[in-house]
Structure 1
Amino acid sequence: MKLEENSVQFCFPLHNSSCVKDWRSFMEYIIMYTFLSTVSGLTVFFNLLVIISISHFKQLHTPTNLLILSLAVADLLTGLIVIPVEGLAFIETCWYFGDYFCTVFPIMMFTIFSGSHISIFLISLDRYIAVTDPFHYTVKVTFKRAVFCVSFGWFSSFIYALAILNKRQAKIINTVTVRIKPEGKGTVPKTSETKAAKTLGVVIAVYFICWIPYFIGSLIADSVPYNSAVFVFMYWLLYTNSCMNPLMYALFYPWFRISVKHILTLSMFNSSSSYLNVFPERK
């Protein structure tokens, strides 16, 4: 039987206490699911390229790239878990994932977003040291310290999420910071670091554009309905930031374009491909 616009639909028709499901036309479903699948798929694919690039090519094994790798993992998990779950709940206006996942999901989302914020903060700190004190950069910033900071940051955000859940107050942490990329090991000329810092200004601007509306919306949540178009726009602008970060790398960083070319052409499976020079200017 064809469903009419005014017909009542339930999330679980066999349960008398089921919530009422919002009516949507077939075309609305097609558009929404296409958008959801596209954003989720591209976010996972682009960030997977970043993760493979930094993990495989030896020249990219630097402290700053480790922080970028941490951010890419957070962005990939956003596309793999957060966007599909939140998108399905928004489109269907029902929760089909059960009570247990309803309890666990806020912990996962909080940890993922916290990992993203922590990674961006550490990258901004790393770049600040590289620009302001380049001659002591390799002494202050080491690979082991980067590993410790990333591990501690992710672990502490997970523990904090558990504490919030016990109080039934699981919410996304309100933290904003910045990000950038390295130029290899050793002391780097200050002009190179300054150029890198200017390039990352675009990434920082995109990050703030995506996140600030959400923070503002959190402050006016009492005066604006949670399911209004304003909040929907804020949330999805926030989620799409995870897809934008790799695009910034592709736009500004030659090493990323070179590594992606070798990944997509399967050249990375050749022997000794991990030692490929992804910085042609350093021959």
Structure 2
Amino acid sequence: MAAAVEADLCFPQFNSSYRKITRSPAVSMLIYITLSSIAVLTVVLNLLVIISIFHFKKLHTPTNLLLLSLAVSDFLVGLLMVFQIILIDGCWFLCDLMCSLYFLLDYGITSASVGTMVLISIDRYVAICDPLHYSTKVTQSRAKVCVLLCWLSSAVFQGLVLRDNVRHPGRYNSCYGECIVVVEYVAGIVDLLLSFIGPVSIIVLGRAILYDCSLLLSEQILMLAGSFNLTTLKSERKALRTVSVVITVFLICICPYYCVTLTGGDAVLSASSVAFVMCLFYFNSCLNPLIYALFYPWFRKSIKLIITLEILKPGSCEANVV
């Protein structure tokens, strides 16, 4: 009996060791294979998006810079999945500081993803509802500044939310080999408002306005303007549909994450207890490049040039992939 109890402990040599999550070997292997597959696909596919937008000059547009920011966050999510794979049985084998940093990175990347979605919604709003002034209002330099501010503010804000956990790593662990952080009630409420409720409200409201604007105003404006044509209108509407799919999938995948991690009083977050919602969030990061491949011809062309190593040839950055 004692041997069976020790087998259930993460560190049998310590009496205060955290107890492993009990699963059958087949289920554990299935989870391991699933997470590993999602991680590899997420990293590879988003790396293709990053290389495509970064390398080909034709893709250096404000909208694609925002997609690049989203791809970077998704790429980092894929790398973070390594820690979730380590936590399959609930045991944390790294130091307490790494546990705190893991949650800090997770929170920061998530906030940056949500912020990028807000920027994408604003970009589409201006493109559809005010197309005549889009090129002057939305420039590459402004897009870069917005992306930079989004990432910096996410890092600073989440650093403040988890500051006690980073300063005193492991202070809330009750057992050896456990990985939890505690978000204070007030900090959790502020995080919920600024990182989820507020941005999601803007995104949902923006989508409603975009569709009304597209149906009622855009066609008339573009038909009357000499510098625009019906092809431009169709292109903008196609981009709107693609972004709408990305945003819808994002909301479906991220809502359970926030519902689990930011509810109640002092939210005690166990890395093993949020495995399902984390996997759902990770899966969204894998889906985004597949959505691009389905709706964006430039991404399919870029992938072909990357896989065939055509991008290594001189002047390949000038290729017309649009």
Band of TM-score, shorter chain: 0.7 to 0.9
The answer for the alignment partner of 1:183 in structure 2 is: none
Superposition deviation, residue 9 in structure 1: 2.2
Q: Is 1:264–2:263 an aligned residue pair?
A: no
Opposite residue 240 of structure 1, the aligned amino acid is F
Superposition deviation, residue 253 in structure 1: 0.5
The answer for the alignment partner of 2:136 in structure 1 is: 139
Which of 137, 142, 148 is residue 151 of structure 1 equivalent to? 148
Opposite residue 86 of structure 1, the aligned amino acid is Q
Opposite residue 71 of structure 2, the aligned amino acid is A
- TM value normalised by structure 2: 0.75
Q: Is 1:277–2:320 an aligned residue pair?
A: yes
The answer for the alignment partner of 2:16 in structure 1 is: 17
Structure 2 Cα separation of the partners of residues 226 and 78 of structure 1: 18
Matches within 5 A, 1:160-179: 160-168=157-165, 169=183, 173-174=195-196, 175-176=199-200, 177=203
Matches within 5 A, 1:1-283: 8-81=7-80, 83-89=81-87, 91-168=88-165, 169=183, 173-174=195-196, 175-176=199-200, 177=203, 189-218=232-261, 232-279=275-322
Flag structure 2 segments of 5+ consecutive residues without an equivalent.
Answer: 166-182, 208-226
8 Å contact from structure 2 (residues 35, 279) kept in 1: no
Structure 2 Cα separation of the partners of residues 213 and 106 of structure 1: 17
Structure 2 Cα separation of the partners of residues 71 and 121 of structure 1: 11
Superposition deviation, residue 274 in structure 1: 0.7
Where 1:21 maps in the other structure, the secondary structure is coil
The answer for the alignment partner of 2:177 in structure 1 is: none
Which structure is higher in RCO with an 8 Å CA cutoff and minimum separation 6? 2
Percent sequence identity over aligned pairs? 44
CA deviation profile, 1:261-281 (whole Å, cap 9, x unmatched) = 0001111111111111112xx
Structure 2 Cα separation of the partners of residues 196 and 149 of structure 1: 20
Structure 1 Cα separation of the partners of residues 315 and 253 of structure 2: 40
Structure 1 Cα separation of the partners of residues 91 and 82 of structure 2: 13
8 Å contact from structure 1 (residues 134, 190) kept in 2: no
Where 1:13 maps in the other structure, the secondary structure is coil
8 Å contact from structure 1 (residues 75, 243) kept in 2: yes
8 Å contact from structure 1 (residues 137, 187) kept in 2: no
CA deviation profile, 1:61-94 (whole Å, cap 9, x unmatched) = 111111110110000000001x2212321x1211
8 Å contact from structure 1 (residues 75, 242) kept in 2: yes
CA deviation profile, 1:107-140 (whole Å, cap 9, x unmatched) = 2111111111111111110111001111100100
CA deviation profile, 1:1-45 (whole Å, cap 9, x unmatched) = xx86x7742111222221122333332332121111101000000
Relative to structure 1, is the Cα distance of residues 187 and 147 closer, same or farther in structure 2, using a 3 angstrom cutoff?
A: farther
Structure 1 Cα separation of the partners of residues 257 and 110 of structure 2: 13
- TM value normalised by structure 1: 0.84
Structure 1 Cα separation of the partners of residues 83 and 50 of structure 2: 23
Relative to structure 1, is the Cα distance of residues 157 and 230 closer, same or farther in structure 2, using a 3 angstrom cutoff?
A: closer
CA RMSD of aligned residues (A): 2.8
Relative to structure 1, is the Cα distance of residues 187 and 115 closer, same or farther in structure 2, using a 3 angstrom cutoff?
A: farther
CA deviation profile, 1:205-264 (whole Å, cap 9, x unmatched) = 212221223344457668xx988x996433321221000000000001000000000001
Across the two proteins, how many residue pairs are aligned to each other? 266
Flag structure 1 segments of 5+ consecutive residues without an equivalent.
Answer: 181-185
